[in-house]
Structure 1
């Protein structure tokens, strides 16, 4: 029950409890397993409930700060950074499921703020046997994880509530379509596709820059989210100059984002997509890692570590930050490349 790479709590951090803790008459449980009473005796439940993200660590007395720091090291709470000024730019991050936008662009979400829109937010898939046996609880936990992560990053959250692909009959034989999907997701589920198009038309009615999944790996929900945005551009509801694509994680760790970007460019209209690195920092990398910790039902810590290393590798390869730098890559069509480069150049 400890993180291999925990950040140290600082007095301005606002400790926020994770939703996976349960209390019964004799024990405290986390992810369904009993917690060592030396780490979390039931008598400390009242202190636990005060960790709601509203108070800086420095507002507790020294003994309570020590207890909360112990919980943080054990992975039972996360650190929400001190509030920052409202961002000057409006960004919308389309996330096929809870966790996708944060896995791919957590540093960018933290640095610029904005809103995460989860499309297929009704899901129950998990690696954890305790939650697999309790799908209703798993569904609730996955959404609560998303709320905590957005709180860490300082982002707004909208849940569209569509059912994820694993649970839909059309994909009972497999929802990973591969790097070059041959299945037309529009024709496979036409009514669902149209509902998503209409939902996104409403959510994308402002003038914000929209970050859309590239669909590396071919997960049907990522493909459908991307295709719904294509449809909105075709209908004239969203300007092409507002759209850029992010590398889906962890699929990009094992796939070929550059090849997927080339295939997408052909579908977009033939012009190559331009890769743009959005710089981060040691702080934004640390906050991204912190924001990924709440996803205990699906995301394993080794994957988080690989994603952070990937971001450091991007910065190092590009020469933007050396060994201590961090970056996330987006792919921009010709219509939006200037706007995306401007965004990257003024990363706060």
Structure 2
């Protein structure tokens, strides 16, 4: 059965799980992207609507090549919701309306389609939008359990390549009972990197090079994996 990938922005799913989507090769796999884009690598003077339009075209080009589905919700990203920096601390009170809308949107997609798995970002790097999506999981645990949908966290790239992955994994392990797992994507990795080059408005070549070095350092030169963590249950630490 197909998988649903929850992607904060218009590149996160492919950055982190592009190889999995290629190897899984199910036309009903779906990326649901939540936020628009206010930053670009190509022209700092562009307005956010133009940036988002370009990035969406890039994303849809990649999605078509991989052969999966795509849903774009287009909520305002952090820099358009009053945050001054992308890694500012998440404010649940300021973002409550958007948070609730996202929970309901994901429930609606799950109600209207058949998925065996749903993937969320682990929020390595502490991007405020990624942290919000991480918090969404806590309100979807019972819902997904009733529908027999496995919840997994994926490793946020390229953020993990800048450090902090081990610390974030420890934090997630305090909130959730997680089991590490890997998808070997060795034969798909170069093609994935070529797909990442399509995101010219969002990714610099240095980012792709960092990802290459990171994954090869993680697993050795001959094997490439995309790391995920399966949620076995949930417990809240006081």
Normalising by structure 2, report the TM-score.
0.87
- Secondary structure of 2:70's aligned partner: strand
2:110 is the counterpart of 1:198: no
2:42 is the counterpart of 1:128: yes
2:19 is the counterpart of 1:107: yes
- Secondary structure of 2:32's aligned partner: strand
2:75 is the counterpart of 1:167: no
2:128 is the counterpart of 1:220: yes
Name segments (4+ residues, structure 1) moved above 6 Å: none
* Cα gap change, 1:301 to 1:175, in 2 (>3 Å): closer
Say if 2:38 and 2:79, in contact at 8 Å, map to a contact too. no
1:174, 1:136 → 2: CA distance?
A: 19
Shift of 1:241: 5.8
**Correspondence for 2:53 among 124, 140, 154:** 140
1:207, 1:138 → 2: CA distance?
A: 31
2:231, 2:46 → 1: CA distance?
A: 44
Say if 1:95 and 1:117, in contact at 8 Å, map to a contact too. yes
2:155, 2:192 → 1: CA distance?
A: 16
Using CA pairs under 8 Å that are at least 6 residues apart, name the structure with larger relative contact order, 1 or 2. 2
Structure 2 unaligned residues grouped into runs of 5+: none
Cross-structure match for 2:186: 281
Structure with greater proportional strand content: 2
**Correspondence for 1:315 among 205, 212, 219:** 219
- Secondary structure of 1:324's aligned partner: coil
- Secondary structure of 1:265's aligned partner: helix
Structure 1 unaligned residues grouped into runs of 5+: 1-88, 317-322, 337-348
2:192 is the counterpart of 1:292: no
The one-character-per-residue Cα deviations of 1:278-334 (angstroms, maximum 9, x if unpaired) are 11123x001211211111111011211221232233332xxxxxx322111112233
Shift of 1:92: 1.1
- Secondary structure of 1:141's aligned partner: helix
- How many residue pairs match? The answer is 227
Say if 1:132 and 1:138, in contact at 8 Å, map to a contact too. no
Higher Rg? 1
1:138, 1:194 → 2: CA distance?
A: 26
The one-character-per-residue Cα deviations of 1:42-72 (angstroms, maximum 9, x if unpaired) are xxxxxxxxxxxxxxxxxxxxxxxxxxxxxxx
1:300, 1:127 → 2: CA distance?
A: 7
Cross-structure match for 1:237: 143
Cα-Cα RMSD: 2.0
2:189, 2:155 → 1: CA distance?
A: 16
